Structure 1
Amino acid sequence: MVTYYSDKSVQITSDAIRVGERSYPLRELVRVWHSRGARSWRAVAGRGALGAAMVGPLVAAAIGILVAVLLHSSITVTIAIVGVSCLIGLAAGPLADVLLEQMDRSYTRGARQLEIWATWRGQPVLLLETGDALRFGKIYRALQRALEVRA
């Protein structure tokens, strides 16, 4: 028996797919397909917040420089405000690194519920539902490989 995929709740072998406590022999699966659910607006809003947080220090620096120029105060105060604004702007670099990693992870997780369906004993059966796009892809590819070998 060959194992194509295995994690804590899903196992795909050359004989069957096991999801949780359920097991379906591959020879009994007539048709397998996948579908995508509705977009999670929470995930989209989270990505928007990450994008806004990335440009925040740059906007704050630009506003600080604009205020320094418009105040018409002494050269010392103007230089101090511009200097602090530039330091705030420089904070965008390290902050962007952390936020871009979080953005990357949000795309890996996905923004939709993904489902794997099969026709089993004449009835459509939901084999798996997950919001993790990376895990879904691994499971679906493993199931396809197992079914191809069976055919």
Structure 2
Amino acid sequence: MLTYYRDADVVVTSTGVRMAGRQFALADFTAVWHRRSRRSWGIVAGRGVIGLAVAVPVLVGLLGIGVALLIHASAGTTVALIGGGILAGLLALPLADVLLDRVDRSYDRGSRSLEIWGRVGGADVLLLRTGDRRRFGQIYRALQRALDSGPA
């Protein structure tokens, strides 16, 4: 028996498949396909909010520098405003790193859920639903390889 994919919830071997707590023999499948669900606008909006959270401190810093240069204040006030603007921009760097990492992970998960379906005994069966594109691709390719190789 050859194992094509294994994790805590899914096992794809040359003899069968275990997904969603159910066991299927490869010979039971007459068709396998995948679908994408509708886009989750909440996830897309969340990415926009994270982008704003990165941009706001930088914009505040630039605004402070701009105000310092435009108003005719004392040298001490001008230096304080420019220093505060630079400090606000520099304080945004660690926050930006964390937030941009969250954006990267959200793109890895995608804004749609992905489903693997199979026709078993004349009925369409949902085998897997996930938002993790990488995991979905690994499982679907493993299932395709197992089905293409035929019975062991």
TM-score normalised to the size of structure 1?
Answer: 0.92
Corresponding residue number in structure 2 for 1:122:
122
TM-score by length of 2: 0.91
> Whole-Å Cα distance in 1 between the matches of residues 107 and 138 of structure 2?
15
Which residue type is aligned with residue 134 of structure 1?
R
Q: Which has the higher strand share?
A: 1
* Letter of the 1:132 counterpart: D
Q: Which amino acid aligns with 1:91?
A: L
In the alignment, structure 1 segments of 5+ residues that lack a partner are none
**Bigger shift: residues 78-87 or 66-75:** 66-75
Aligned equivalent of 2:47: 47
Shift of 1:9: 1.3
Deviates more, 1:78-87 or 1:20-29: 20-29
Give me the whole-angstrom Cα distance separating, in 2, the residues matched to 1:86 and 1:144: 55
State the 1:90 CA deviation: 2.0
Q: Over the residues paired in the alignment, what is the CA RMSD in angstroms?
A: 1.5
SS, match of residue 24 in structure 1: strand
Q: How many angstroms apart in 1 are the aligned matches of 2:78 and 2:93?
A: 24
Give the Cα separation in 1 of the matches to 2:53 and 2:124. 44
1:63 aligns with 2:63: yes
The residue that corresponds to 1:94 in the other structure is 94
Q: Deviations over 1:77-109 (max 9, x none)?
A: 011111110111122332222222111110111
Residues 142/26 of structure 1: CA separation in 2 closer, same or farther (3 Å cut): same
More displaced, 86-95 or 127-136? 86-95
Opposite residue 18 of structure 1, the aligned amino acid is R
Amino acid at match of 1:126: L
The residue number in structure 2 matching 1:22 is: 22
Tell me the amino acid that sits aligned with residue 131 of structure 1: G
For the residue of structure 2 that corresponds to 1:39, the secondary structure is coil
Match of 1:73 in 2: 73
Number of aligned residues: 151
Task: Write the distance in 2 (CA, Å) between the matches of 1:141 and 1:98.
Answer: 32
8 Å contact kept, 2:20–2:127: no
Is there any run of 5+ residues in structure 2 with no aligned partner, and where?
A: none
- Sequence identity (%): 52
Runs of 4+ aligned residues of structure 1 deviating over 6 Å after TM superposition are none
2:111 equivalent in structure 1:
111
